[in-house]
Amino acid sequence: MRAEHFPPAVFLQSSWTQIYSSETVTLRCEIQGGEGAQWTYQWRQNNLNKPPTSSEYRISSATKSNSGGYSCRGKRGSSWTEWSDITKLTVSCKLDIFHPFLFILHKVSSKTQQNTLSFNLFILVSKVA
């Protein structure tokens, strides 16, 4: 059977199509019926081809630019399979849980003839990764 008759498919390691920035995800290209053959794989993100590589495409420390549609194809000999269906991946921002906030302390005083009022003002600023 010629290589182009084996339909490839993309699988996410965890099957989650949404991850958060700085997480790692692995996509795997499986060619149904092509087990045991020596394949060269090519990945495509948002219709931009990546250099030929292995059956796994690993994204370490994901960013929003890693969001998009991924597909793969395989080559055996001189024949390429068709491109797989597109698997969408969404990378969302998250709060950095280790350094999430900046506290600003400001001491405020107010004097009247009889009393001095004093209080501390805390401002909480969240940091988005």
Q: What is the DSSP string of 14-42?
A: S--SEEETT--EEEEEEETT-TTS--EEE
The whole-number average pLDDT for the span 108-118 is 55
52 or 26, higher pLDDT? 26
Please state the domain count of the chain.
1
* 42-82 residue pLDDT tens: 999 988 888 878 899 999 889 999 999 999 999 988 889 99
Please report, for the domain that includes residue 48, its CATH number.
Answer: 2.60.40.10
pTM comes to 0.65
DSSP state of 77: T
Highest mean pLDDT among 30-39, 50-59, 91-100 belongs to 50-59
Q: Is residue 22 included in any domain, yes or no?
A: yes
Res. 12: pLDDT tops 90 = no
86 or 34, higher pLDDT? 86
Task: Tokens 């993309």: give the residue.
Answer: 10
Burial of 55 (0-12, 13-18, 19+ CB in 10 A): middle
Instruction: Round the CA-based radius of gyration of the chain to a whole number and report it.
Output: 26
pLDDT given for residue 4 in this prediction: 52
Q: Is residue 115 included in any domain, yes or no?
A: no
Domain that holds residue 59: 3-92
Q: Is residue 108 included in any domain, yes or no?
A: no
Q: In terms of Cα–Cα distance, which of 97, 106, 124 is closest to 20?
A: 97
